[in-house]
Structure 1
Amino acid sequence: MAAETPSFVLPEMQDNPDGSWGPSTSQIPTQYKDIPYAPYSKSDKIGRFADWNEIEARGTTRDGGAAAGARQTRRYREGPAAYGAGGPSAFSYTHAEDDASFSLVDNKNVPAKRAGSAFNRGGGRGGPMRNQVGQRGQPAQRGGSQQRGGGGYAGGRGGNRDYIGRGGMRLGRRGWRDWEKPGRSRESSIPIGPTWNLLEEIDFSRLAKLRLDVDTSSTIGTYGKLHCYDRTFDRISTKTERALQIGNKIRYYSTTSDDPVIQELAAKDTATVFATDAIISLLMCASRSVYPWDLIINREGNKLFFDKRDGGGFDTISVNENAADPPAEKENKDDINNPADLALEATYVNHNFSFQVVKEDQQLALDHPNPFYGPEETDPLASCGYRYKTFDMSVNDEEDVKLCLRTEADAFLPNSQGGKNDLVSIKTLFEFDSRAQGAGGAPDWRTKLDSQRGAVMATEMKNNSFKLSRWAVQAVLAGAESMKIGFISRASPRDNTRHIILGSATMRPMDFAGQLNMSMANGWGIVRTITDLCMKQPDGKYILVRDPNKPVIRLYAVPENTLTGEDGEEEGEKIDENDEE
């Protein structure tokens, strides 16, 4: 008997000519004709079958606001809702009873925790606490933060509270009406002329991805004279503070093109790019800058010269530039805490501190005298040493891209082992008023510097990331073995003429750069990228500008007579002659 042949019949397929998922409206099977259809997509997320957290909180419930907040947090965590979930669904289940009447009753006593989160250690909202600390200048109140122990919240119910971290450091929190404040609009450091030609625009996100390893460097020569650092300033504390003295010494901050040594080296074709450590450190840390700045770039043949602009405020030191709420421009001219006056005051403090902390009777003469100190000068010369170095920025053996850099050191320390003397970089951090607007949530140095040095330094690294990164880079480029950072504060918060030294800290440049998350490889990548952009252009003058309100730097090609006073006067005379004719 022959075996029966198996048969297989394909089921009827419903083809949708529109190409979308789901049945076509013209080909709906009869058994599904009156059943509503919920659209979906392959990429949709499948929700939970039973989600008790999705119970809609009614206005009558006590925890309605908390439930809404939990739903919002869950939406951010789980991503966007499924396709079609926003519309009415016939498949959704509707409770027969009102969910507002549902409540969970738990009569168990929750034991108090001695350690835990800031909320547990800070006490209940509005509840009584021991060792309470109220707002600054006010008595202790309910809902305040604990004085002993970890974190908490300062302020009572409904107040603008600041988070208090371990050790009592005030980390700061934006106010509840800060979104109503108008955004700060800064002006450019230099007005953009109508004849300027925009060549390139680079945002900070692109700068952060650049990388170049530069390990080869050589010293061409050393110039100037250094004084020995006075180690007694390392033992200063808030209890043994010293007054900052005003010095009458001369120190030069010449730009690249005005340096006679660099002019000689350029004539000998020592390198391709010429700059100073202050300019290169600015480029390396450009992505951390907030305030606007500009640089002048001159291309002459196959050489590039990076210069600062006269009168541009390049050598001033900013204060709390990277703070969440930096010092604001005030319409009141008598206010001494505006950014411009604070920068001048911080620069003045930094110069005088470097003059005071050295021993003039112990000097170290370098190979050559100071190239800027002429015979007609009568004022004493400050302790400063210049080291001219070359760095090889070539990517391969076929190209030759070298950077000639003038680096600076502020003092020296005798080597305890009798070897080569150590170079020292001296800088200062400045406190104007811990209670004023723009202080960046910094603690009061007079009460916290000795006991919480790490917290004070962490706050300064956050509020002055750009400035400190530049200083660390300059010390690394100069080959300094240590950095001395002084903590200078006003003798009175309302007096910007008298200052006191509260302490100092010693840092190793490479370690300090690592703490600031500053990558030297990324900095060299930025310098090489800007160099390549300028080398593609013809001979002429170019200006690199940091946008005042956007994280962008722009390269402009400008006429040769731009920012030249003599040429401007000549043009004015020609215009007058034409008018007379």
Structure 2
Amino acid sequence: MESLSQIIAALPDGDGWGPPVTSETTFNGVPYAPFSKGDKLGRMADWTVDGKDRDGRGGRAQYSRYNRDQQVYGAGTVSLFSAPPAEDEGSFSVVSNVRDTGKTRFGRGGAVFTRGGRGGQRGGRGQDTRGGRTALTTRGGRTAPASSGTTASRGAAASRGRRPGWKDYDKPQRSRDASVHIKADWHLMEEIDFNRLGKLNLDADEGEDLDSCGFLYYYDRTYDKPPVAKSSERKLTALDRAAYDVTTSSDPVIQELADKGEATIFATDSILSMLMCAPRSVYPWDIVIVRQGGKIYLDKRENAALDMVTVNENAADAPLEAADGSKETINQPNALAEEAAYINHNFANQVVLESSGQKVQMKHANPFYNASEETEPPASKAYKYRRFDLSTNEEEPVYLVVRTELDAVQKNVTNGENQYLSVKALNEFDSKAQGSGGALDWRAKLATQRGAVVATEMKNNSCKLARWTVQSILAKADVMKVGFVSRANPKVNDKHVILGVVGWKPRDFAAQMNLSLSNGWGIVRTIADMCHKEGDGRYVLVKDPNKSILRLYQVPAASFDEDEDEAEGDEVKAE
């Protein structure tokens, strides 16, 4: 037998294994089809793709999850080899404009459960009306009567209890405006996202009292009893009492403490609580930070955004602005915030027993009240100036002084000692309106399902309740009283009724909300250190209106003096 080499040598010249050698450009004019490493070859041969089952539908492989959306090798360049159309199709039009309702947005038809036949094959929770009897449908371990004369689908069943995130793509894109106008001459120093803020941590002491001013009335315990009937509901009455919210640098007591060198950081509880609860905030806000003489003052602008009491800020479907399509003006965020501020002011004044003989006096009188100029009596309010140690080492001590507020006092039932209270109020506008956040009807559920009502409020108003809790802890309040105030008529926002009052110990409530004070102190110390490094000057900390980001700007010294001059000019023109 001849060997392989002998056979190859016997072949004529030019012949051999493989394609013939030629110099002609055989593939001249054929476009090149590029490829990528992501192209898939799929199966070498699949004889079941075009097969049909006995019902005339596509075979099993056609609906296989392995074949669906399979990328074919070279599919991206098929158009290079397609033949040009033989006729002009520009004038082609479809005669029928009826939509194909057999498919949904996601390309698959929804299942329909009917009374007869096998309508409920795809869903195991359809209704069964065999023999004309109404059967029972089991959902989540509960048994409920099924409707016998209607058709239901999975989408209809889900619409009765709207799933979180359902149809999120169809929601209007909200674009909020910043709380302060960012000018061109402002220098951006730092940009911090909320994820970084959540990782900060600093343990501080419980604080010590430096001074106290004002007085407190005793709390009326009859408000703790829920109303028996609708006729016994108490109306919220407007009481004219002088209340103040003076910024840090304008407080005469803080100025005196700064001159004595009691601390290096000064703030009010309203401003400090906003900074400590910043990761929970959604709406825009800003804080003015002034460093002068080695001391830092956390200030707020006149009519600042953080003065307002937000409503359902953290709800998944928060109240809409007019620009977002809201038609009810009284249920827009700004209107709800003004209503909530009005309720909180009057509620705190109404739930105390005003008696000149029964009140607790602090060391000094109210530093902001001037009897010769004011026509209204002062409200029940005590200001405690407390100092906290934020030092990380003994060599560089850092102290913070904060002005805290208390609203009332009550006798302890067991030992008869005075307990200091902070009094706040949650408000219900309309449980069926857009922006209610799935809240329960307080009139029907507050007495029987108080835990569910409170849990819903903790979800929808996480930032607001966290700020109230932080303020109560900073003031060392023994009890935090929270009232539930609802509209007398959902369509009217100037008449309200008090449905009940619930009291908690602030630290216990903070544990329920998963609120970490050490994280808040870490945020305060980090922002203060950023301003310390830059030296004396004026800074602005701004919460981005649409993102979970804080931005620290260095601004000119007279940045907000112009705004105050303009506000004074407007007042003169109004007079």
TM-score normalised over the length of structure 2: 0.72
Q: What is the rounded CA distance, in whole Å, between the counterparts of 1:184 and 1:151 in structure 2? A: 41
Q: Aligned pair 1:218/2:188, yes or no? A: no
| Structure 1 pair 435–371 and aligned structure 2 pair: CA distance change class (3 A) | same
Contact residue 388 and residue 407 of structure 1 kept, 8 A: yes
1:182 maps to what in 2? Answer: 172
Q: Aligned pair 1:245/2:241, yes or no? A: no
SS at match of 2:529: helix
Kindly state the Cα deviation for residue 219 of structure 1 after the two structures are TM-superposed.
0.5
Q: What is the rounded CA distance, in whole Å, between the counterparts of 2:408 and 2:454 in structure 1? A: 23
Correspondences of 1:271-290 after superposition (within 5 Å): 271-290=263-282
2:96 maps to what in 1? Answer: none
Contact residue 128 and residue 143 of structure 1 kept, 8 A: no
Contact residue 137 and residue 146 of structure 2 kept, 8 A: no
Kindly state the Cα deviation for residue 312 of structure 1 after the two structures are TM-superposed.
1.9
Q: Aligned pair 1:551/2:548, yes or no? A: yes
Q: Aligned pair 1:234/2:193, yes or no? A: no
Q: What is the rounded CA distance, in whole Å, between the counterparts of 1:226 and 1:378 in structure 2? A: 20
1:375 maps to what in 2? Answer: 371
Q: What is the rounded CA distance, in whole Å, between the counterparts of 1:486 and 1:60 in structure 2? A: 67
Q: What is the rounded CA distance, in whole Å, between the counterparts of 1:354 and 1:382 in structure 2? A: 9
Q: Which moved more, 1:386-395 or 1:408-417?
A: 408-417
| Structure 1 pair 460–146 and aligned structure 2 pair: CA distance change class (3 A) | same
| Structure 1 pair 308–57 and aligned structure 2 pair: CA distance change class (3 A) | farther
Q: What is the rounded CA distance, in whole Å, between the counterparts of 2:517 and 2:66 in structure 1? A: 44
2:294 maps to what in 1? Answer: 302
1:133 maps to what in 2? Answer: none
1:338 maps to what in 2? Answer: 332
Instruction: Pick the aligned partner of 1:477 from 466, 474, 477.
Output: 474
Kindly state the Cα deviation for residue 156 of structure 1 after the two structures are TM-superposed.
4.0
Give the letter aligned to residue 282 of structure 1.
M
The one-character-per-residue Cα deviations of 1:248-292 (angstroms, maximum 9, x if unpaired) are 111111110111100100111110000011111111100000000
Correspondences of 1:84-99 after superposition (within 5 Å): none
Kindly state the Cα deviation for residue 366 of structure 1 after the two structures are TM-superposed.
1.0
Q: What is the rounded CA distance, in whole Å, between the counterparts of 1:513 and 1:567 in structure 2? A: 37
1:99 maps to what in 2? Answer: none
| Structure 1 pair 394–494 and aligned structure 2 pair: CA distance change class (3 A) | same
1:311 maps to what in 2? Answer: 303
| Structure 1 pair 206–335 and aligned structure 2 pair: CA distance change class (3 A) | same
Contact residue 224 and residue 365 of structure 1 kept, 8 A: yes
The one-character-per-residue Cα deviations of 1:117-137 (angstroms, maximum 9, x if unpaired) are xxxxx98235579xxxxxxxx
Higher-Rg structure is: 2
SS at match of 1:406: strand
Instruction: Pick the aligned partner of 2:442 from 418, 434, 445.
Output: 445
| Structure 1 pair 542–141 and aligned structure 2 pair: CA distance change class (3 A) | farther
SS at match of 1:252: coil
Q: Aligned pair 1:511/2:508, yes or no? A: yes
Correspondences of 1:88-487 after superposition (within 5 Å): 124-127=125-128, 156-157=152-153, 159=155, 161=157, 173-176=164-167, 178-237=168-227, 239=229, 240-331=232-323, 335-361=329-355, 362-376=358-372, 377-418=374-415, 420-487=417-484
Kindly state the Cα deviation for residue 179 of structure 1 after the two structures are TM-superposed.
0.5
Contact residue 284 and residue 305 of structure 2 kept, 8 A: no
Kindly state the Cα deviation for residue 221 of structure 1 after the two structures are TM-superposed.
1.2
Kindly state the Cα deviation for residue 63 of structure 1 after the two structures are TM-superposed.
13
Contact residue 137 and residue 144 of structure 2 kept, 8 A: no
Kindly state the Cα deviation for residue 378 of structure 1 after the two structures are TM-superposed.
2.8
TM-score normalised over the length of structure 1: 0.72
Q: How many positions carry a matched residue from both structures?
A: 457
1:134 maps to what in 2? Answer: none
Q: What is the rounded CA distance, in whole Å, between the counterparts of 1:262 and 1:188 in structure 2? A: 30
The alignment's C-alpha RMSD in Å is 3.7
Kindly state the Cα deviation for residue 302 of structure 1 after the two structures are TM-superposed.
0.8
Q: What is the rounded CA distance, in whole Å, between the counterparts of 2:442 and 2:504 in structure 1? A: 19
Kindly state the Cα deviation for residue 149 of structure 1 after the two structures are TM-superposed.
6.4
Q: What is the rounded CA distance, in whole Å, between the counterparts of 2:153 and 2:59 in structure 1? A: 17
Kindly state the Cα deviation for residue 324 of structure 1 after the two structures are TM-superposed.
0.5
